[in-house]
Structure 1
Amino acid sequence: MRHRVSGSRLNMPHSQRVALMKNLARELFEHGTIVTTVTKAKELRPFVESIITRAKKATTITQELGTKSTGSPEAMELKSRNLALRREINRNFNDRKLVKKICDEVAVKYLTRNGGYTRIVKLGMRRGDASEMAVLQLVDSEEKKETK
């Protein structure tokens, strides 16, 4: 029985599943959209959203640091918390440039948004094995919708 067990196993061992999630998340942050199966997209969504939430916290701390004086104990505490959050994100990717992009570009778009950073759009069946395919996208900010 699978009572209270969240997530799908995706028919692979834990280490392979974690590696898959990290690779899919990396591609999503680099390109903004990926095409994958619906099951993988549904598994990836909470992983990506938690990373964006951490990046938002790091971004707000960075903004607070700009208002504090550099030598104060409050500034030192904020700086260490910012570094800790960036290291938590880096644990998934092991790429400092990607972490910088996530914290400085991606998270800034979602500062006023409370969750729902990704969108899953179903595409239909894959031709080879009839798997249901989907597009997983990072949701654009409100400004782009207004210009349309």
Structure 2
Amino acid sequence: MRHRVKKHRIGRYGSHRRATLRNLAREIIKHGSILTTTAKAKAVQSFFEKLMTKAIKAKKADKKEVSVALRREIFKAIGDRRLVNKLVDEIAPKFLERPGGYTAIYKVGPRRGDGAEMSLIKLVEEE
């Protein structure tokens, strides 16, 4: 039974899974979109959405202490100050009025080598 089991395992043990999600989230921040397997895309989507929510709260924060605390939480998850600043100062202002759903997953097709289902995960652009 899978009662109260919420995380995507993606075939890795704990520290390897965290490192994989961290690296995928970094690439989304750097490039805006990445091509990966569908399972990894679904796993990183929830991880990245939580970071994005913290970044938006940090951008909207009135007090500097709140903004710094949220930036430190994002840094704990990502591990790169420049990417934290890019997320909060450049990417988050585009999504200030959006209540959620900052990323979209588009299925691309099977990978040539092993047939794994590939997907493109990218930041949603405002219309």
> Which TM-score bucket, shorter chain as reference?
over 0.9
* RMSD, aligned α-carbons: 0.9
Query: Normalising to structure 1: TM-score of the pair?
Result: 0.83
Structure 1: runs of 5 or more not aligned: 65-77, 143-148
Counterpart-to-counterpart distance in 2, 1:79 and 1:7: 32
* Deviations 1:30-81 (CA, angstroms, capped at 9, x unpaired): 00000000011001111101101000001011xx3xxxxxxxxxxxxx1111
Higher helix content, 1 or 2: 1
Identity %: 49
* 1:127 aligned onto 2:100: no
Question: After superposition, where does 1:1-148 map in structure 2 within 5 Å?
Answer: 1-61=1-61, 64=62, 78-142=63-127
Counterpart-to-counterpart distance in 1, 2:71 and 2:120: 27
After TM superposition, what 4+ stretches of structure 1 lie above 2 angstroms from structure 2? none
Structure 2: runs of 5 or more not aligned: none
Query: Normalising to structure 2: TM-score of the pair?
Result: 0.96
* Deviations 1:84-105 (CA, angstroms, capped at 9, x unpaired): 0000001122211111100011
Q: Secondary structure of the residue that 2:53 maps to in structure 1?
A: helix
How many residue pairs align between the two structures?
A: 127
Counterpart-to-counterpart distance in 2, 1:93 and 1:11: 21
